[in-house]
A and B are shown apart, each in its own frame.
Chain A
Amino acid sequence: MHMKVILAGTAMALALPAAAQETQTVGVSIPAATHGWAGGMNYFAQEAVDRLEEVYPQLDFVLATAGDAAEQVSDIEDMLATRNIDALVVLPFESDPLTGPVAAVADSGAWVTVVDRGLSQEGIEDLYVAGDNPGFGRVSGEFMTSQMPDGGDIVVLRGIPTTIDNERVEGFEEAIDGSGINVLAMEHGNWNRDDSFTVMQDFLSRYPNIDAVWASDDDMAIGVLAAIEAAGRDDVQFVLGGAGMKEMIARTRDGDPMIPANVTYPPAMIGTAIELTAVGLTSSAPVSGEFTIGSVLITPDNAEDYYFPDSPF
């Protein structure tokens, strides 16, 4: 697994009083499992917590899931007030509303690990475990160009309009620039199966020939595949999803020609963050800085390594 690790080993020893005997409390605050990716993330967070409680008896974990940003702010305030947490691992629902409350946790002297979505203000967190959204788009785009060396006509389904989606699409557009691949149209499928099904049906009505689809997400890929199958169209050679849903990885592994590849954006990155935080609290190994989890191309050759049968995603 290629991981681009940038560990800026700074004055972490100051931030982490390594009182090995005392019980330390780690708060974990994440969005609730409202869609597939978040469901996977919840699963891996719970798994990491269960495992680390065994490994480190001196650590106590508090896991809270929030339905929206306001609830997450309350969760974090409660953790600080009632549990006096020594470290916080947070995947912010939205950057702006969470910046203040997380800064307050940092001011209290606790260790702060931010996952996936950055805060609006730099320098609050001690450790940032980030997914690579531009890289996600770039790897997807590079795969498209490699599959269609002579160019071709594609349609693109985008996610919910957010920074994440914009970064992915920009990375993708840069990667296919000049390759002869022509993007016929882009529409938002909102990372949702039903929406992407509808959008794809309309794309199929609108364009008599589509060579390939960048669905940019596995949930959307499922909707797209259903629409293509229902229309009985055989001009579409393949659909590239993303994020690594287990059902789709299994189909890539089994050599389904419509799903030749996948690009990771692993929900298990929450596990990485919790694990690194635990390492920081209990040992003298430096873990502060930024840790970017690269987006990797999954092909039939390496699909087995990315197939997690127990995960809900």
Chain B
Amino acid sequence: MTGAAATAPQRRDRSHSLLDLHVLGPILALAALILLGTGISATNESTFLSASNISNVLSRSAFIGIIAVGMTFVITAGGLDLSVGSMAAFIAGLVILTMNSLAGTVESVPMLVLVGMGAALSAGLAAGAINGFLVTNMRIEAFIVTLGTMGIYRSLVTWLADGGTLSLDFTLRTAIRPIYFGGFGWLTWPIIVFAFVAVLGELVMRRTAFGRYCAAIGSNEQVARYSSVNVNRVRMATYVLLGLLVGVATILYVPRLGSASPTTGVLWELEAIAAVIIGGTVLKGGFGRVWGTVIGVLILSLIGNILNLTDAVSPYLNGAIQGVIIILAVVLQREKKAGT
């Protein structure tokens, strides 16, 4: 929390002075959830704190988590991307089709997997670049651009799948399963990649010119422009980075069930945005916190996990509990900001 303070925009100083709840809010919420889970698990002999449950929760957080790290940059720079869920579904469909169609000609399975990964990353880059181009060069509102591409990618995956499900060839499925389920014991690959992306994201946000430019643009685009920040290029880069990370998330997603359908990734965009905001990033831009986003993602996954471990709450109310906790987590850290 030090270091970059001198060069960061004005806002940093303000948030620094109310370090307490603003910083502690999400951590407190996460700690409360962990306590709650442990308590519930003690009453009904389930295994909340077991390595396998923790591994499950962290692995399943990885998709949204990796995307949410990218989303943190987009939102910090005053943008928004609603298309990520559909984009993930579309890329998953593309990867499956690519690998299936090459399965006959390319013998080596590792080679095929590499081709699949390459397809995912390049499709993500391209999709992110399209969003970025429309937002920066065409000067269309990010909300509208990504609402449009959200519909486009969702329809494309439905069309590719003929309304049904795209499934990976069975032999390939066994070959790539370890990408999601494998790793070092409970430390599975999705957890490792998520951790790597999160640490890298935090460093980029705090220690690089790019991170500071994002905050500057989100804070006041005009001032950033006068300070000779290449606003369009930075903004473009945030969307491309997010697209790339959607590609990474898809690489981890496809091996889990080996399929993609029109319901893949539904509402991921809202979960990712919610995680970013719970973590303390400002929705209208200007201030971003990658580690907060990681905590936000964990809070969201833990709510679902805990609700599945208990019968105390009617499953009809799951959404309501989630809503309450999301709002509480944000209230906790906003309290002192009221009036500023």
State the CA gap A203–B309 with chains docked (Å). Answer: 7
Query: Which residue of B161, B256, B305 contacts A202 across the interface (Cβ within 8 Å)?
Result: B305
* Contacting pair B52 A35 (CB below 8 A): no
Which residues of the partner chain A approach B148 to less than 8 Å between Cβ atoms? Answer: none
Is A56 among interface residues, defined by CB-CB distance under 8 A? no
How many residues of B sit at the interface, in one of the four size bands?
A: 20 to 34
* Contacting pair B263 A198 (CB below 8 A): no
The chain B residue sitting closest to A312, CB to CB, is: B164
* Contacting pair A205 B52 (CB below 8 A): yes
Which residues of the partner chain B approach A158 to less than 8 Å between Cβ atoms? Answer: 315
Interface string of B222-236 (1 = CB under 8 A from A): 000000000000000
* Contacting pair B162 A33 (CB below 8 A): yes
State the CA gap A35–B165 with chains docked (Å). Answer: 8
* Contacting pair A222 B257 (CB below 8 A): yes
Interface string of A107-122 (1 = CB under 8 A from B): 0000000000000000
* Contacting pair B161 A39 (CB below 8 A): yes
Main secondary structure of the interface of A (DSSP, over half): helix
CB distance from A106 to the nearest CB of B (A): 29
Flag the segment in B43-51, B73-81, B97-105, B139-147 that touches A: B43-51
Known pairs A192-B263, A205-B46, A312-B164; A33 contacts B308 (CB<8 A): no
Query: Which residue of A34, A186, A198, A219 contacts B304 across the interface (Cβ within 8 Å)?
Result: A198
The chain B residue sitting closest to A158, CB to CB, is: B315
* Contacting pair A36 B46 (CB below 8 A): no
State the CA gap A205–B55 with chains docked (Å). Answer: 11
- A88-121 interface (Cβ within 8 A of B): none
* Contacting pair A38 B309 (CB below 8 A): no
* Contacting pair B309 A312 (CB below 8 A): no
- B253-309 interface (Cβ within 8 A of A): 256-257, 259, 261-264, 266, 304-305, 308-309
* Contacting pair A199 B308 (CB below 8 A): yes
Q: Residues of B with Cβ closer than 8 Å to A?
A: 44, 46-48, 50, 52-53, 56, 60, 158, 161-165, 167, 181, 256-257, 259, 261-264, 266, 304-305, 308-309, 311, 315-316, 318
Is A272 among interface residues, defined by CB-CB distance under 8 A? no
Which residues of the partner chain A approach B181 to less than 8 Å between Cβ atoms? Answer: 230
Pairs A–B under 8 Å by Cβ, sample size 24: A32-B163, A33-B158, A34-B158, A36-B261, A39-B161, A43-B162, A192-B266, A193-B257, A193-B259, A193-B263, A197-B256, A199-B308, A201-B60, A202-B308, A202-B309, A205-B47, A205-B50, A206-B47, A206-B308, A206-B309, A207-B46, A222-B257, A312-B161, A312-B164
State the CA gap A203–B48 with chains docked (Å). Answer: 11
The chain A residue sitting closest to B60, CB to CB, is: A198
- A186-202 interface (Cβ within 8 A of B): 186-188, 192-194, 197-199, 201-202
Which residues of the partner chain B approach A247 to less than 8 Å between Cβ atoms? Answer: 167
Known pairs A158-B315, A205-B309, A206-B44; A39 contacts B163 (CB<8 A): yes
CB distance from B152 to the nearest CB of A (A): 13
Looking at B308, B316, B318, the one whose CB has the most chain A CB atoms below 10 A away is B308
Interface string of A176-191 (1 = CB under 8 A from B): 0000000001111000
* Contacting pair A222 B53 (CB below 8 A): no
Looking at A202, A207, A223, the one whose CB has the most chain B CB atoms below 10 A away is A202
Known pairs A201-B56, A205-B46, A206-B44; A38 contacts B315 (CB<8 A): no
- A154-170 interface (Cβ within 8 A of B): 158, 161
The chain A residue sitting closest to B167, CB to CB, is: A247
State the CA gap A64–B257 with chains docked (Å). Answer: 32
The chain A residue sitting closest to B253, CB to CB, is: A194
Is A143 among interface residues, defined by CB-CB distance under 8 A? no
* Contacting pair B308 A43 (CB below 8 A): no
State the CA gap A231–B262 with chains docked (Å). Answer: 27
State the CA gap A25–B148 with chains docked (Å). Answer: 35
Known pairs A188-B315, A194-B257; A231 contacts B264 (CB<8 A): no
Known pairs A32-B158, A193-B257, A312-B162; A205 contacts B264 (CB<8 A): no
Looking at A186, A193, A199, A207, the one whose CB has the most chain B CB atoms below 10 A away is A193
Looking at B46, B52, B167, B263, the one whose CB has the most chain A CB atoms below 10 A away is B263
Which residues of the partner chain B approach A187 to less than 8 Å between Cβ atoms? Answer: 308, 315
Which residues of the partner chain B approach A43 to less than 8 Å between Cβ atoms? Answer: 162-164
CB distance from A203 to the nearest CB of B (A): 7
* Contacting pair B48 A205 (CB below 8 A): yes
Task: Enumerate the 9 nearest inter-chain pairs by beta-carbon distance, A residue then B residue, closest first.
Answer: A33-B163, A39-B163, A312-B164, A202-B308, A206-B46, A39-B164, A312-B162, A205-B53, A201-B56
The chain B residue sitting closest to A225, CB to CB, is: B257
Which residues of the partner chain B approach A313 to less than 8 Å between Cβ atoms? Answer: 163-164
